[in-house]
A and B are shown apart, each in its own frame.
Chain A
Amino acid sequence: MKAAIPSDYLNQTSLLRLIAVLALVLVVHLPSLPAWESALVAAGLGWRLLIALRQWKLPPPWLRTCLAVLSFAGIYASYGRIHGQLPGIALLMIMSVLKLLEMRSRRDVMVTVFLMYFILLTHFLNSQEIWTAGYLLLCASAITALLIDVNHPAEALPLRNILVSGSRMVAISLPITLLFFLLFPRIPGPLWGIPSDAGAALSGMSNEMAPGDISSLIMSNRQAFSVRFFDREPPPRERYWRGPVFDSFDGRAWKASSLSLRIQTPEAELLPPAVRYEIIVEPHRGPWLFALDVPDPTTRPDKSFIASEYQLMKGRDVITRELYVLTSHPNHVLQKELPESVRRVNLSLPRGFNPRTVALAQQLQAEHAAPEAVIRAALRMFRQQPFVYTLQPPPLGRNSVDDFLFETRRGFCEHYSSAFTFLMRAAGIPARVVTGYQGGERNELGDFFRVSDADAHAWSEVWLESKGWVRVDPTAAVAPNRIELGLSEAMQASGELPGFLQRGGWNWIRDNLTAQWDWMNTQWNRWVLAYGPEVQMDLMRRIGIQDWRSMVIVLTVTASLILGIIGLLLLRQFTPARNQEVAVRLWAQLQRRLLRAGIAQRPAEGAGSFAERVALETPELGSAVRRAAGIYQQLRYLEGATPALQKELAQVIKAIRT
């Protein structure tokens, strides 16, 4: 074997640790990188590993330069730019690996270590979940441990020691972190702009509804939002979460007409009781905020409005998690006076579609004078004829409503609401499709409801003279359990449910764990992610801080106090008097322990003689007490205080069981 390469600043063990920690820091970024870059990062780490293990030479400067230039070019080719968030992270990662290939001096090592801290920070741009925080703490401890290690380049420190010290340092920093989290003035909006690609993988409600849209949506268990009711909890049949409303039908899909998105709150008569609740909505593609039918416009959150079909909306897509508090009124009269333009839109049907349904509607209209009677007759049809509520409806042809009502008769909520709305319009009753969520799963741990995409639903609203818009849910006529008990109960027998919705067997364990995880997540969202300027100010007012100036003063004073106390504690460790006290204190601890066993040291008895007496009287304690006495003598009389001996004494004493 060749002699150790003199160019390596670090010893081999520390070098291997450095590579391992870098790999740990980089690994979660890999999935979001282009494949070639992931491969390059892995190859770079592997190469450096071999260099360390086999004692190869580091690559020559021209090769490193080529690699760097090629990486820049590759990133430009993949992203079309070399600035911005994703290319930036990609560059950082590649360069941190390339840095390994030229690591020979202390400076290179330090640059790599601090680069790791920075790369670690960029994880927050991708994910802000609980596990990210845990992973970050873990990585921060690992990097700090590494930092301790590389400061002793000649020889690797024991792994356990550096890990303990690193974790301890991170733990000590936690109170200050928490303080800054709570008191550092929050800026509205994220610090450096929302990543443009943050919503790429989001699902949720879309801005149109075609057959099959919702039944595919419910296959996902993604959380849409969580709800906490403040006092009264509405019964399941009232838990309709209003989302996009569609008033325009093109024969296949329902869409929102231009009319429906106007910022023009229709008049509504809100009747008691009122329900107050708090929603944390997950980011999704679309401007809707969900609200229990129907929200009080005066309680709507900032920068939101209620559109003309009573949808709570934001001016832009909901791409960050948001928390808002609303009051809703399940009993209401919505838009008693229907403007002519709205009536026209809500009666319009595409020409030349679904002739049999139109004929049925005319027949119903002829049989029943009152609109209410027509509605009852239609619902009766759903109930009495062999309609099946299923997640796997057969495909429908051009006249989708005709096919569904008269041929297949198997469908999911979007089929029923679509067909019903079409039928109503054909019978001259203004009607529209409302999509959103229905129900929600109660989390027993956290006293909140989790509403997921599996709770997605579609229903109808019809307009009646003097009653305004009235919700009619044709699905309830076919499958009442869907509304009362939720989707999984309604579909249990059919075997069509996705695995996560099936009950029974060992699933209760999984359900329980899921509930706990959801609860933790909700708390995390509530207290950490939703902690913005408003929540901060609210909290500050509660503890008596009125404006951000006082907040900054409190922050500065508290942080100085904490740092000062830590500093004083550290200082005390280095004074000799304190060191003597440590041995005396530990020995007193031993005396207390032995006293419990009825063994007392006489005041005039030296530690050594005492240990011999203990060994004589209580042989099973003898060796430990002898050892403790030996270290105590070392500390007090022979060598003087050293932290290692103090630690050893503490451990020996801790191990003594009486």
Chain B
Amino acid sequence: MTSAIQPALDALNQIILGKHNQIRLATACLLARGHLLIEDIPGVGKTTLALSLAKVLGLGFQRVQFTSDLLPADIIGVSIYEPQAAGFRFHPGPIFSQLVLADEVNRASPKTQSALLEAMEERQVTAEGETRPLPDPFFVIATQNPAQQIGTFPLPESQLDRFLMRISMGYPAAEAEKALLLERERRDLLTEVQPALSSQQLMDLQTQVKAVRVMPALVDYILALVRFTREHNGLRQGLSPRAALALKRAAQAWALLSNRQGVIPEDVQAVFAAVVNHRLIAASEREGGAPTADDILARVAIP
């Protein structure tokens, strides 16, 4: 069953060239039942990644372009009076799909952002006094553009950790970009992609992630990493217990992708930057700078 994920990864890598690590992280995030925040400039393939994931994994896909005038109801849905039925009927919003792409999430008002983040956390939506469960699997990919901060509402720090991982795409490597220009349009390619995995298989994999073994020795390592961030002067806040849990879950998913029945320190290291970078808050500029994820990994010994 574990190897079932490999064809999906291969298919993704054929569409998005030279981004093995990001694809792998995104898949791990999905398997760990976490949500993904992609932070990058436009045009590096954020949307393509989300679309390909939906296609390859056979997920129902909805895209929401966040704007400043977007209202919560635009995401969640709204009840409309229907004369035939002589009553209100709920019209579910785009959030009721398995994969939701929230494009430029920082452009919406905090109220709308909150609605999305709450749905992500609760995996259910309460509208007009009625609670409705979201589909399963449910996976949100949000993107934001770090360069254009004018007229945006940055996601509050306290809510950033609703995302399991934050990654950035980065420019493609020269080879990959050449291939990108020479070959067919990616979007055309996408229409031909067949799902490599059924939703049932995906859910089984998500269950398997929880069964990946975490031995005391590994927990010690996670704790050492967490403790380091809490004691470091350059950081205003260290990693919370929720962050530690996120780290464990992400590492479990990564181990599953590597076909291992247990988590090794390398798995933790592989997901560490993606899991913690958006959770660490630098103290201030004066303190001599906050350590990056790589700094932390290099300075915490594996027990």
- List the interface of chain A (C-beta within 8 A of B): 580, 602-609, 633, 636-640
Contacts and interface: CB of A to CB of B under 8 A. Distances in A.
B264 A604 contact: no
Contact of B302 (A606, A638, A639): A606
Contact of B264 (A602, A603, A637, A640): A637
Interface in B69-111: none
Interface in B245-303: 260-266, 269, 297-302
Contacts of B9: none
B179 interface: no
B215 interface: yes
A29 to B, nearest CB: 56
Nearest to A609: B266
Contacts of B264: 606-608, 633, 637-638
A602 B262 CA distance: 22
Contact of A604 (B260, B263, B299): B299
Contacts of A580: 216-217
Interface of B: 213, 215-218, 260-266, 269, 297-302
Contacts of A608: 264, 266
A638 B211 CA distance: 12
B301 A637 contact: no
A637 B298 contact: no
B261 to A, nearest CB: 6
B298 to A, nearest CB: 5
Contact of B269 (A606, A607, A633, A640): A606
A638 B213 contact: yes
B298 A604 contact: yes
A64 to B, nearest CB: 55
Contact of A638 (B260, B265, B269, B301): B260
Contacts of A603: 301-302
A609 B262 CA distance: 16
B108 to A, nearest CB: 40
A529 B217 CA distance: 56
Contacts of A607: 264-265
Given A636-B215, A636-B217, A637-B217, A606 B262 contact: no
Given A580-B216, A637-B217, 19 more contacts: A580-B217, A603-B301, A604-B269, A604-B299, A604-B300, A604-B302, A605-B302, A606-B269, A607-B265, A609-B269, A636-B215, A636-B217, A637-B264, A637-B265, A638-B213, A638-B261, A639-B261, A639-B262, A640-B215
A10 B299 CA distance: 58
Contacts of B260: 638
B297 A606 contact: no
A638 B213 CA distance: 7
B297 A637 contact: no
A412 to B, nearest CB: 84
B301 A604 contact: yes
Nearest to A576: B216
A382 to B, nearest CB: 94
B262 A604 contact: no
B215 A637 contact: yes
Contacts of B265: 606-607, 637
A566 B213 CA distance: 34
Contacts of A605: 302
The interface centre, meaning the residue of A603, A636, A637 with most chain B CB atoms within 10 A of its CB, is A637
A607 B265 CA distance: 8
B259 to A, nearest CB: 11
Nearest to B299: A604
A576 to B, nearest CB: 9
Contacts of A604: 269, 297-302
Nearest to B296: A604
Nearest to A636: B217
Contacts of B263: 637
Contacts of B262: 633, 637-639
Nearest to A580: B217
Contacts of A637: 213, 215, 217-218, 262-265
Contacts of A609: 266, 269
Contacts of B217: 580, 636-637
Contacts of B301: 603-604
A140 to B, nearest CB: 41
A169 to B, nearest CB: 33
Contacts of B213: 637-638
A580 B303 CA distance: 11
A77 B233 CA distance: 99
Contacts of B216: 580
